[in-house]
Chains A and B, each alone.
Chain A
Amino acid sequence: KNQVEQSPQSLIILEGKNCTLQCNYTVSPFSNLRWYKQDTGRGPVSLTIMTFSENTKSNGRYTATLDADTKQSSLHITASQLSDSASYICVVEGGANNLFFGTGTRLTVIP
């Protein structure tokens, strides 16, 4: 069964600290893995897209890694800001635009 699992479910960190979010998937075939940020009351916004051959990709303070062998990905946020408070959703495309969504990690950054 094609599944995307994220951990932790929720996370609270102090402003300025780093954090890492995890994503494990069982989607096959695999086309690419995406990380989205979804602010409350908004639609998801793409942070990174990684294909099979890409191990790491950065977007500002966000760095995503992908291990296609173990089917794991992580999203590392450096020097967190209050505006980073959001849900972070891992999405795996299994081909033909079939997207499989994780339930997200709810990140809260506190002053």
Chain B
Amino acid sequence: EADIYQTPRYLVIGTGKKITLECSQTMGHDKMYWYQQDPGMELHLIHYSYGVNSTEKGDLSSESTVSRIRTEHFPLTLESARPSHTSQYLCASSEWRFFHFGNGTRLTVT
């Protein structure tokens, strides 16, 4: 299995809370991504990074923000969570055309 880790696996929080979803990879990949996946729906790219200090928004508009201070670390932050943010968030990294996905964080905002 690829060495890309996401924490927490599951998170239930109240509306208005600030949260950070962690994603780390040990493969030294420059490119990293955050996808949002709702049940029965395709993955949507919300953020990506092509290296340290590089972050871009993806195809799907998201109120979350990301940072890339270190190659191996690509955290996603929601400043004020809302029920509409309830979803699964998948982190991925890639080298050339090979993508590796983490196991995701299932977020529920009540």
A→B interface (CB under 8 Å)? 4, 9, 31-32, 34, 41-46, 49, 89, 93, 97, 99, 101-104, 106
Known contacts A97-B31, A97-B94; A45 and B42 CB within 8 A of each other: no
Q: B90, A41: Cβ atoms under 8 Å?
A: no
* Residues of the A chain whose Cβ atoms lie less than 8 Å from the Cβ of B102: 43
Q: Report B9 CB to chain A, min CB distance, Å.
A: 8
Q: How far is the CA of A103 from the CA of B6 in the complex (A)?
A: 23
Looking at chain B's contact residues, the main secondary structure is strand
Given contacts A32-B97, A43-B92, A46-B98, contact A99 B103 (CB under 8 A): no
Which residue of the partner chain B has the closest CB to A106? B40
A32 to B1, CA, bound (A): 22
Tell me whether B42 and A41 are in contact (CB under 8 A). Answer: no
Known A-B contacts A41-B106, A43-B92; A104 and B101 likewise in contact (beta carbons under 8 Å) = no
Please name all residues of chain B whose beta carbon is closer than 8 Å to the beta carbon of A89 when the two chains form the complex.
42-43
Q: Which residues of A contact B4 (CB under 8 A)?
A: 43
Cα of A42 to Cα of B104 in the assembled complex, Å: 6
**Residue B12 lies at the interface, judged by CB distance under 8 Å to chain A:** no
